[in-house]
Each structure stands twice: as C-alpha cells, then as structure tokens.
Structure 1
Amino acid sequence: GSRVFHRLLFAGNEQQLSDYYAWLKPQLKSNQSWQGIKDRQSPLGTNLDRAERFLLLAGLFGIMLAAVAMAVSAKRYCERQYDPVAMMKTLGGSRKVIRNIFLLHLCLVTVFSIVAGLLLGYVLQTVGADYLAKFMGAELPQAGIRPWLLSSFIGLVCALMFSLKPLLDLFDIPPLRVLRRNLGDELALSRVHILLSFMTIFVLMWLFSGEIITTLILFASTLLVIAILFAISRLLFAAGRKLGLRPGSSWSLAIATLQKRANANAIQLISFALAIKLMLFLVVLKNDIISDWQMQVPANAPNMFIINISEQEVEPINTFFTDNNIAHEAFYPVFSGRVDAVNGEEFSRGVSKQEDEEKNEKAREGVNREPNLTWLDSLPEGNEITEGKWFTDGNTGSDEIEVSVFDGWRETLGLKLGDTITLLVNEKSIEAKVTSF
C-alpha cells in the first residue's frame, strides 16, 4: 500500500509565477494543489509572512518618520528665514522673486535628497544581497522598477505637502518685521493644511503597503497617540504657566517663552515623541520576532532525519547511535492520510476545477495537504495534552478508534472533543473519535 507523490517545482519571478498560477488553477484536479513559498500552512511560510509584515511595518514607520522630519525641518528652516525675507522686501524684492528663490531651493534639496536616498538604498541592498548570497548559495534577484518609482513619489509628495504651509507663511512675512521682530511669530496653524497632511500620510501608507486594514490600524493608533501627547503637553504648559506666575520664580522667563508659542511647542514635542515611539516600536517588534523564531526551533532540535526504517533495522540503528554517542529522538511510525470529513460533513477542495468548486461551495473548509499520521501507546516526550485524555489500548471496551489531534489542526478544521473524523488511508476510509488535543 505505498503512495507515490509527484512534485513539480517552478522557478521564476513573482509576476511570472502569479501569471502561471492564474492559468493553471482552473485545470488542477481535486488531488492536486499549488503550494507557494509563502504558504502559511508551513513553518517557512509562517516565518516569511511575519518577516514580510515586519518589513512592511518598518516601511510604514519610515514614511511616518519622513513626514515628521520633513514637517519639523521645513518649519524651522522657514522660521529662520523670516528676517532675511523681511529685509529683502524692504529693499524692493517682490513676492514673485522671493517665491522663485525658495521654490528653486526646495526643488534642489528635494532632488538631491531623493537621489541620495535611492543611491544609499541601492548600496545597502546590494551589500545585504551579497552577504545573504554567501549563505544561500544563490544570487538574489534585483529590485524592479516599482521600488524606485514608489520611493521617488513618496519623497516628492512629502517634500511638497509638508513644506507648502511653512513656505506660504514665509512669503506672507511683512516688511515691518524689520522693526517689529514679533510680527509673523504667531502665524496660525491651518486646519485645512493639518487635514491634508494627515490624508497625505494615510494615502502614502496605503500606497506603500497595499493593505487597508494594516494601514487603518497603524494610522488610527498613531492619531490616538498624537491626541494624548497633545493633551498632556497642553496640561504641562498650563501647569508651568501657573508656576511661572509666582513672584520671584526663576522659571518665569522660560515658562513665558514656552507659553507664548504653546501650540508650536506642543507640535514639536509631539513630533520628537512620535519619532522616538516609532523607533522603539520597531526595536521591540524586531526582538520579539527574532525571539519567536528562536523559540520555534530549540537548540537541540534534530537537523537530520532517517526515514523508511523497517522494524528489523530499529535495534541495529539504535546500537550504532549509542556506540557513537549520537543523541537522537525516539523512533515512531509515520504515514500519510487524508482527512475527508468531520461528523459526516465533507471538506471542500481548495483548488479544484470550477465544477468541483460549485459542488463544494457550501462544504466545510478543509486543508490542501495530507497530514502525517502515527500510532503510539504512550504520549511522546515533548508533547502534552491540552484538552481531553490520552487513550490506551482497550480503555473504551469497544472497537471504536480514538485519535489525538494536533492543536494546529484543531483550529484549521474546527474540531472539538467527541467529533468523528473520517480518514482516507490507502484508499480505505476509517472513522475515528477525537478524544484529546
């Protein structure tokens, strides 16, 4: 009763494989399936998915940090140009001339920053790819044109949207500031500009990630943090104002200066706090992912496996391991089977033909691979019962077959204690009762 498995491997870039799968999917039979490297049913697929999401979050945080840095730096730069602009206006400089000067300056800085960022990213990617290629034994593919275009577009939009309001304020500085230095210091924040800035960040994050749910969660949580930080900063400034009003307080001048520009100082405080928060979040997330990977594979986990061992060969192999001081796990039988039904309800086939899909439309959602099955009298070392009781020979007083199911399969198949599952082994149908997980 041996089984023969045929596996056909396809190599190509992501677009080629996606196009080929779209053509092949309608032609797959019920006993055929397509499994990609990112299949979440495999440990490799799960780890790749987590790593991809981490890099996605890192990219989203990078966009937010770039927006914050651009907004803060543009505002500070324009504030430092208030006096020169006022002086230029007193000497006869027109608004058009001043506008052309600073817009040209902005264009040059933007182009230089984008080019420098692209070159730095290319160098870092090349170094990282060469480093990984030494361990993988294969060259990693080069990045396509999309990352270059997307990065340039994000840089251009950030430079435009977060520099526009400070530049408009700069162009409106009156010539009288030469005599009255306080003119222009309290230019009001535009609600429209704030709304456009947040919308720009959201659209850029969505464009970069392609996942609306992830973008919404991250964006909403960031807005909540900003609101909390703004409220705290205003409370601190209000408390400082009361402290500064006390006669003889050495903080009077400092508190008065902060209070004079409370909104601007609050926004600057929020910007730096948000940048620190995003960087700390990335560090914690990176450490959490790495520790999770390390926990999945213990330090003494086997890295070599022996299969197709007959019963007569078990003892000689055990003796060989003992004589050579080779640590090994216990031997146990393994065979493949198919879970066909739960409580008589058949599964749907994930990648069947169109007529099979219509037939199984209302069927229970199943799995696209055959699980490994085994039989043992005692619970293997390193395993534990999370629910139910382990079975022993003859403990039921009947010929009813009992099975213990892996927790991961319980979640996938929606199983509970007492369910009856139908197994197909060597074309023979076997019904068994779930007694433990």
Structure 2
Amino acid sequence: MIGLARRMLGRELRSGELRLLFAALVVAVAAVTAVGFFADRVRLALDGEAQQLMGGDLVLIADQPWPSVVIDEARRRGLVLAETLTFPSMVLANGQAQLADIKAVSSSYPLRGRLSAAQQIGEPGQPVGQGPQPGSVWLDERLATALQAAPGDQVTLGQRQLQVAAILTQEPDRSFNLFALAPRLLMHVDDIASSGLVQFGSRVTYRRLLTGEPKAVAGFRKWLEARLSRGQRLEDAQNARPEIRSALDRAQRFLGLASLLTVVLSAVSVALAARRYMQRHLDACAVMRCFGITQFGLIRLHAALFIWLALLAIGLGAALGFATHFVLLRWLGSLLAIDLPLPGWLPLGQGAAVAAVLLFGFAFPPLLQLSKVPTLRVLRRELGPPTPFLLGGYALGLLLLAGLMVLVAGDRRLGGLAVLGFAGALLVFWSLARLAVGAIAGLRSGGGFGWRQGLASLARHRSASALQIVALAVGLMAMLLLTVIRGQLLETWQKAVPTDAPNRFVINIQPDQLPSLGERLAQAGIKAELSPMVRARLIEIGGRPVSAASYPDDERAQRLIEREFNLSWRSDPPPGNRLVAGRWFGPNDAGQGLASVEEGLAQTLGIGLGNELVFMVAGQEERVVVSSLRKLDWDSMRVNFFVLTPPGVIDDAPASYITSFHLPEAQQAFGRQLIMQFPNLTIIDVGAVLRQFQGVVGQVAGAVQFIFLFTLAAGAIVLYSALVSAFDERRYELAIMRALGAHRRQLRQAMLTELAVTGATAGLIAAMGASALGQVIARRVFELSLPFDPLLLLYSAAGGAVLSVAVGWLAMRRLLQTPPLLALRAGA
C-alpha cells in the first residue's frame, strides 16, 4: 500500500493533479519556518549564553547608586563585583558633535562574556581582558565614523579631554531595544567625577555585576530580594535581557501573525485543491472498488499518498524557510548586536504541525468521501458525487486553525482577538464580494459578446467567484497596508510637525547655569523657555499604594509606575495643551497642593479628577489633588510634562532644567559651541533621532513585508485553485459554446473580462479595507486623521485586475484548446 501510494504521488504530481495542493503546503510551511528559524536563533542565543549576555551571574539594576550595605554584603559572601553606569551625553571631536550612549565601567568589567576591540574601523575585534584605562575611551564604529575619530585622537566628554584608545566591536551586556539608536562610548568609571557629566537630574542607570559560587549567588539573591525598593531589580540567567525578550516577542508575534495569514489562505487553497482532486478521481475509485478494494483500503491508500505528500512538502518548505530566514537576519540582525547560533529542530516541528493541520483539517474531509463511491458509477457516471461542500465537514480543521493562531499569538487574549479579527475580516470581505458579484451581474446589458459572457460566467459561479475575490483582497490589503498606507501615515505625521517646530532638546541644565545659558541663547537669536524639572516617584493614587503589581495586565502601566516622573510647575497653561476636564490653576492657587495630569497617563493609571496623588520627591512625600486633565500636542515638539503643579508646591525640591528650540540649518555650529561652553549639557537632535527611528522602522517593516510576500503567493494560489477547481465545468461550457459557433477570440474576451472584473473588485475591497484599518492605526497610534485618497481605489483596482489576469490566464488558457467534440462525447 505504501509503495503504491508513493508511485501514485509521483504520477499525480507529474500530471498536475496535486501541484496546487503541494504548492499551498510548501508556501505555508516556508512562511512559518522562516519566522521560526529566526526566532529560534534568538532564543538559543539568549538561553545558551544568558550569563555571557548579562556580563555576570547576577545583575543588580537601579536608577540610583546602590547602597554600601548591599555592596558590603556581596563582598562578605565572597562574590566578585564589577560596576557600570550608562547615560546619554554629547561627545565632541574634530569639530563634530554626536549624542552617544555613555557606559562607564570599572577595571573588573566584564565578569562574564567577551569584550572585543580593534585598532581600526572595519577590522575584526580581538578579545581583551578589561575595558579602557582611566583617561581613555573606546568608541564603537558608528560613533567613530560620526566623529571622524580614530585611535589616538582626542574627544571632549563633559569637562574632560580623553584619548581614543580603541574601536569597540563587542560587549557582552549591551542593552537592546529596537529603537535604542545612540552609538556607544566606553570609558572608565574613575573618569566620571572629573567629567562633571553626572549631576542632579541626570538619567543614569546603575548596574552591579556579580559572580561567584552558585550557592553564594543564590543566597545573596534571596537576601537582597526581600530588601529591594522602587527602581531596583535583579536579573539572572532565568530572566536575562528582558528588554531583548520583550521587544523581540512583539516583533516575532507580528511576524508570526503575518505568516499565519499565509496559513489561513493556504488552508483555503488546500480545501479547494483537495475537493477538485476528489471530483476528478471518483471514476478511478469506482474502478478500484470493482477490483475488490474495500472502503477502508481506499482510505488507507489516500492517507498514505497524502502523508508522502506532506513529508515532501515539509522538507521542501523547511528548506525554503531556512534559506529565506537569512533575509530576516539581513533586516533585523544589525539591530540585535549579538552573535546568533544556528537554529535547532523546533521550527521543523512547527512546519510539520502546520502541514498536519492543513491536510487533516482541510484535505481529508473531501478525500474521505472517495471511500463512499459506489461501484455502479463505472456504469452510471451520474452516481456519486459524494455529499456537497459543507462547512460542518471542516469543523475540526477550523478548530485546529484557531488553536494554531492562539499558539502563535503567545497569549489567549491576543490569540482570541486574532481569531475574531480574521473571522470578522473574512466575513465582511465575503459579504462585500457576494454583493459585488450580484451587482456586477446586472451590468450585462450593453457591450459585446465577451463582456456579456464574462459577466454571465461570473454570475453563474457566484460562490467560486466570491471566494476568488476574498482571497485576492486579503493579500492585496496586506501589501497596501505595508506600502501605500504606511507611506501615507509617515507623510501625514511629518506634515503634522510645523516647519519651525523645535528640533533641539537640551537637558541636564543646572540652576546656576540659567542666567548665562539664557544670555547665550538670546545672543544667538533663539527664543527658548527654560522649564524646571523635578524627578519624583508616584507611590499612591486616591489613598491606594500603587506598584507594578497593581497593573498585572497592562505592560505600559507597569513601566510608567516603576519609572521616575518629571514634574514641573507653572502658572499659565503650556502652549499646545488643551484642558479636557477640570480647571487650570488660578492666581490664588499658588502654593496649593494641586496638579494637572496628562489625559493619557490618567487613563492608563486610573487617575481621575479629585484623586489625591502622593509623590516621593527627594525622600519627602508631596501630596497633590488632581484639579484638571490635559490633552497634549506631542507633535508640537515642545517640552511637555505629564504632571504640572502651580508655583510654590515643589519649588524647594532639587531641580534641573530642560528646554527646546528651533535651530536653523545655517546655525548648526551653535550646538557644538554650546557644548564647549556648557560641557554637562546633553543636546538631542530630534531630526536626527527621527531619521534614525524611521530607518529602524523601515528595517522592521521590510522584514514583515517580506513575510507578506508569502501571503501574496498564497493568495495567488487560492485564486489559481479557485479557477482550476471549476476547470471541468468551464471546459464543458466552452466546448458547448464553440460547438454552437463561438470563436476563440470571443471566448478569450469573455475569460479576460471575467478575470479582470474579479481582480478589480478584489482591489476595490482591499483598498477600502486598507483605508479603514489605516484610519484606525492613524487615530489610535499616531493620533492623526489620515486623509482618504480616492486614487488608492483606482490603483488597487487596476493592480488587482492585472494580477488576476496574469495568474488566472495561466490556468484558463488551456480551456480554449478544448475541441468542441468534447461536448458531444460528454453528452453521449
């Protein structure tokens, strides 16, 4: 039986009977394994080299220096320690200024992992035992290129001149974020004090790396966990690099959902191709029944055939997925900054699971009907065909597909939303397609023979035509979202920012620098408001203590409540702020414990008018009552604060200052001059950051767009499958029409009309779907109103028509070669 099934498979593939089903399986497996191989390499890198990626066995992280009692306890237990500080700052060299991510390390760094450096840009790095010596720095390649600096040159960092000693090529504990854009400078921790960079208001992350005997590390961890306070946390091999895991989990879920759309379309292709295979093999199965094969024997034969087909598709699809996952590495690998080992076998299991779901859920229901073919069909061909195409027969496949979507999504809520979203979109598209086909059928009057017959054929095969339209519309909508709509969103976003909007932010301004800095800005003709900024932690809302545990299901709320807020005070409403509830501070409110809170923050943390908020400011509790909620215009690029108080409430707290201003292109040198005069300042070039941000977004979108190419291929296979599924019926119809005198040219016109109308309708539906979803993204994510572009409907309809004609014509052109005599023989 197995040998017969293998021979049948070879014959069916050569004759083309199973090519579409095989192609659908290969595309689905390739899409899933491509994402799976990429995700597995990242997972193995994180799991297999957790301690090396951390730089130690245990990492202590805080936004304030760690107390001496913690350090003394670690040393008492025999642990080895290393220290790092990271913060943003400006670096000057050779007349260039660049914002960099500064990392100061002690002489014992790193405790685990590899630190590598080179003497020239572009050279491979060599392992080194420790970081830079006091008085020297290492620059990574991006920073060295931006500053046009090489080993031996001098750089200005704060109040210090430091020598470039090497080019940094690898560090074990480099923090990762898809949008961490600043290049790296590595320096010795002993140079921090003399540089004057770390002052009050500076945002510094303090890390202590520890190594030692496992029992000693575990004991110290247990001792410290009970003493952790706000802003302090621990990392070990179990939760190493949560920022990598979190960011990549989101990216992989997006890629996974994109590949899952391919699987959904492939399921439709498999169902159509299997049903056609069943219809074309009824006679052969009837003959085998006459020769004595039982119903169970037919089931075994076709089960073996499809298992061989699945194994072949898994092998080819996995090979294609492995080859194409390198494209994902090309787009996203440069963002990871870590060496990725070769993937394991897990993605092959994922690909096999996809093939199994598609075959057993969507191919076997129609194939099982072959066992029910009566032997009398050999004499009476009208007997059969088996039961009609029913949704109930695919219930198991639909359940398995829904479970697969939940599994890929990573959590039940997101998976459930994905299932409902796909089901809702397909239902809306199906309804629109059915309505469109019905409306088009009424346009047959007028026009030539090709036009009338093309629309008539579309109306006769309404369900098949609607299915073709839905499949193509889903694929086209995905590509429109990732190309046209994405471009429109970015263009609208950029236009929302005024041309004279501030493009420079200056932070870390100290109170004693206000007079001289204000005078310097005035001399340059720059109008800038210097706003005070006090760092504080929110510890109570409405009499209820709050922490990350208070928001178990909201990741953004957890991040917000754990961070330090920047508070400020002023008597008048800030420009670009609009009150949405409550009242602004009056003249008599100075010194009163009131606060105005940003609307989005209030919604996320559950803050309402009249709630009392308790902030911990410099070790002292400050209580304020929410008197108003504000909506901020973030696109104005002005300095904005989540929480504002009237003057006289927090004025006595230690404060630094911040400002923003517009620097014309002709005054670019002013930024470097300002840093030379005030070395502790950090100037952020917003324009450069936005350009880098868009570059990173482009890389991520490129990777996702690549996966959607599989989706488009699956959509094309569905279209092709839907067309050839009606091959026999169309062949009979065309043969009769030719026997009645229709010319090939007339039939060609009818077929091209049907294909073009199908594609154009799908393009219109796709454009409407992409526009609607684009509006949702624009309003919910960008807080913008995306203008409707009527040309998108035209372009999408034209593109859909061209694609439908190109793909459909490959399947339909053979119909024109059918001799008219076939109709007479079929009717005999």
TM-score where L is the length of structure 2: 0.39
The answer to whether the 8 A contact 1:60-1:209 is kept is no
Offset at residue 336 of structure 1 (A):
0.8
Q: Alpha-carbon deviation of 1:367?
A: 1.7
| Shift in CA distance, 70/435, structure 1 to aligned 2, threshold 3 Å | same
Give me the whole-angstrom Cα distance separating, in 2, the residues matched to 1:311 and 1:399. 21
Q: Does 1:411 align with 2:603?
A: yes
Which whole-Å deviations, capped at 9, do the CAs of 1:334-383 have from their partners, x for residues lacking one?
2211223234x14133369xxxxxxxxxxxx9922221112344444444
Checking the alignment, whether the CA contact within 8 Å between 2:536 and 2:615 is kept in structure 1 is yes
Q: How does 1:71-86 map to 2 (within 5 A)?
A: 71-86=271-286
Taking a change above 3 Å as real, the CA distance of residues 88 and 330 of structure 1, as seen in their structure-2 partners, is: farther
Alignment partner of 1:275 is 2:475: no
Say if 2:360 is the partner of 1:164.
Answer: no
- 1:207 aligns to what? 407
Q: Contact conserved, 1:30 with 1:349, CA < 8 A, in 2?
A: no
CA distance in 1, matches of 2:347, 2:603: 37
Deviation string, structure 1 residues 357-410 (Cα, Å, up to 9, x no partner): xxxxxxxx9922221112344444444433344436xx0266314322222321
- Distance apart, 1:199 and its partner CA: 1.9
- Pick from 350, 354, 371 the counterpart of residue 150 of structure 1: 350
Residue 347 of structure 1 is matched in structure 2 by 545
User: For residues 2-27 of structure 1, what are the alpha-carbon distances to aligned partners after superposition, in whole Å with 9 as ceiling and x for unaligned?
Assistant: x945688995999xxxxx9xx87954
1:53-93 Cα offsets, whole Å, 9 max, x none, are 53343243233222212111111122222334345555x36
Amino acid corresponding to residue 332 of structure 1 in structure 2: S
Q: Measure the CA separation in 2 of the matches of 1:234 and 1:413.
A: 45
Shift of 1:99: 5.0
Aligned residue among 374, 386, 390 for 2:580: 386
Verify: 1:30 aligned to 2:229, yes or no. Answer: yes
- Aligned mates of 1:168, 1:114 — CA distance in 2: 22
Partner Cα distance (1:117, 1:409) in 2? 47
Corresponding residue of 1:372 = 566
Could you say which residue in structure 1 is the equivalent of 2:620? Answer: 428
For the 8 Å contact 1:335–1:373, the answer to whether it is kept is yes
Q: CA deviation at 1:162?
A: 1.6
After superposition, residues 110-121 of structure 1 pair within 5 angstroms as 110-121=310-321
Count of residue pairs brought into register by the alignment: 394
Distance 1:382 1:141, change over 3 A: farther
Alpha-carbon distance in 1 for matches of 2:242, 2:382: 60
| CA–CA distance in structure 2, aligned partners of residues 217 and 270 of structure 1 | 25
Kindly state the Cα deviation for residue 149 of structure 1 after the two structures are TM-superposed. 1.7
User: For residues 302 and 153 of structure 1, do their structure 2 counterparts lie closer, same or farther at Cα, with a shift above 3 Å needed?
Assistant: farther
Deviations 1:147-186 (A, max 9, x none): 3322221212221222212222223333443443333235
- 8 Å Cα contact 1:350-1:368 kept in structure 2: yes
Other structure's SS at 1:307 match? strand
CA separation in 2, counterparts of 1:399 and 1:318?
A: 26
SS of the residue 1:71 aligns to: helix
- Pick closer, same or farther for the CA change 1:69–1:351 going to 2, 3 Å: same
Deviation of the 1:270 alpha carbon: 5.8
Structure 2: unaligned runs, 5 residues or longer: 1-62, 67-83, 87-171, 177-217, 445-450, 551-558, 631-828
Counterparts of 1:146-295 in structure 2, within 5 Å, are 146-185=346-385, 187-189=387-389, 193-220=393-420, 222-223=422-423, 229=430, 266=463, 268-269=464-465, 271-280=467-476, 282-283=478-479, 286=482, 295=493
Question: Per the alignment, in what secondary structure is the counterpart of residue 332 of structure 2?
Answer: helix
Q: How much has 1:218 moved relative to structure 2?
A: 3.9
Q: CA RMSD in A?
A: 5.0
- The residue identity in structure 2 corresponding to 1:30 is S
Within-5 A mapping of 1:125-140? 125-134=325-334, 137-139=337-339
SS of 1:94's equivalent in the other structure is coil
Amino acid at match of 2:605: L
Cα separation, 2, equivalents of 1:410 and 1:50: 25
Quick one: distance in 2 between partners of 1:412 and 1:145? 41
Residue of structure 1 in register with 2:309 after alignment:
109
Distance 2:391 2:412 in 1: 25
Cα deviation, residue 289, structure 1? 7.3
Residues 273, 257 of structure 1: alpha-carbon distance in 2 compared, 3 angstrom cutoff: closer
Report the Cα distance in structure 1 between the residues aligned to 2:621 and 2:317, rounded to whole angstroms.
61
Amino acid at match of 1:194: Y
Q: CA deviation at 1:271?
A: 4.3
Give me the whole-angstrom Cα distance separating, in 1, the residues matched to 2:403 and 2:532: 54
SS at match of 2:532: coil
Aligned to 1:247: none
Q: Which has the higher strand share?
A: 2
What is the DSSP-based 3-state SS (H/G/I as helix, E as strand, rest coil) of the residue aligned with 1:424? strand
Check conservation: 1:338, 1:371, Cα contact below 8 A.
Answer: yes
1:303 and 1:148 map into 2 onto residues whose CA distance is 49
Q: Per-residue deviation at 1:307? A: 3.0
Shift of 1:426: 0.9
Within the candidate set 47, 60, 63, 2:263 is matched to: 63
1:339, 1:422 within 8 Å by CA — same for their partners in 2? Answer: yes
The separation in 2 between residues aligned to 1:258 and 1:184, in whole angstroms, is 26
Q: Which sits farther off after the overlay, 381-390 or 402-411?
A: 381-390
Instruction: Specify whether residues 151 and 223 from structure 1 end up closer, same or farther in structure 2 by C-alpha distance, changes over 3 A only.
Output: same
In structure 2, give the amino acid aligned to 1:199: L
AA in 1 matched with 2:475: M
Maintained 8 Å contact 1:54/1:286 = no
Q: Deviations over 1:220-276 (max 9, x none)?
A: 455566677489859989x99xx9xxxxxx999x989987xx8xx73x456434434
How many angstroms apart in 2 are the aligned matches of 1:53 and 1:389? 43
Q: Take 2:488 and 2:245, find their aligned partners in 1: how far apart are those partners?
A: 17
* Secondary structure in 2 matching 1:415: coil
1:335 equivalenced with 2:529 (yes/no): no
Q: Distance in 2 between matches of 1:126 and 1:116?
A: 16
How far apart, in 2, do the equivalents of 1:319 and 1:136 lie? 44
Give per-residue Cα distances to partners, 1:308-348, cap 9 Å, x unaligned. Answer: 323454565567678889x89643232211223234x1413
- Between the aligned partners of 1:99 and 1:4, the Cα distance in structure 2 is 70
Aligned counterparts of 1:410 and 1:56: Cα–Cα separation in 2: 33
Match of 1:122 in 2: 322
SS in 2 for 1:337: strand
SS, match of residue 539 in structure 2: strand
| Whole-Å separation in 2 of the counterparts to 1:119 and 1:217 | 32
Residues 82 and 117 of structure 1, relative CA distance in 2, 3 Å threshold:
same
Looking at structure 2, the residues matched to 68 and 123 of structure 1 have their Cα atoms a distance apart, in angstroms, of 26
Q: Which residue of 2 aligns with 1:362?
A: none
What code does the residue aligned with 1:425 have? Answer: V
Residues 404 and 142 of structure 1: CA distance in aligned 2, closer, same or farther (over 3 Å): farther
Give 3-state SS (helix, strand or coil) of 2:621's partner.
strand
Indicate conservation of the 8 Å contact 2:253/2:409, yes or no. Answer: no
Question: Contact 2:573–2:584 (CA<8 Å) still a contact in 1?
Answer: yes
Q: Distance in 1 between matches of 2:65 and 2:351?
A: 45
* Structure 2 residue identity aligned to 1:404: S
Instruction: State the Cα distance separating 1:128 from its structure 2 match.
Output: 1.9
